[in-house]
Amino acid sequence: MGFKLSRIDILSEKLVEFVAREASRIRYDKQKLQVVTGPTLAGLSLDTIKAVASEVVKERNGLLYCNLCRKGPYTKRGMYLHLIRVHRYDLKVMISEELRERIARIT
């Protein structure tokens, strides 16, 4: 099973919202993730989401700070909106790189 560049880019675009929610500590529906990615890629996608989300946000004294631009502190909702509005492209690039690395390890 070979992934083309466009498939990884499409999948990474779909995962941006999930990464922003995970990084902001906002719950999301794992069933919806499985519908978006398909049942075979759900596990790989979940691991990718958690890995990228841990790089994006730092938590200090219960407050969320953006690790990409060093701004903050943010509330959960504020961090989510900041990531979606300001760093959407950055998140997409980080997700696609992480997906490529994980897929290369599998194949």
Rounded to whole angstroms, how far apart are CA atoms 76 and 64?
7
Range of the domain at 88: 5-106
Residue pair 95/12 in contact (Cβ under 8 Å)? The answer is yes
Written as tens digits, the pLDDT of the chain (107 aa) is 455 567 888 999 999 999 999 999 999 999 999 999 999 899 999 999 999 999 999 999 989 999 999 999 999 999 999 999 999 999 999 999 999 999 889 87
How many distinct structural domains can be found in the chain? 1
In 3D, which of 47, 78, 72, 45 has the Cα closest to residue 60? 72
Rounded to whole angstroms, how far apart are CA atoms 28 and 33?
8
The model carries a pTM of: 0.90
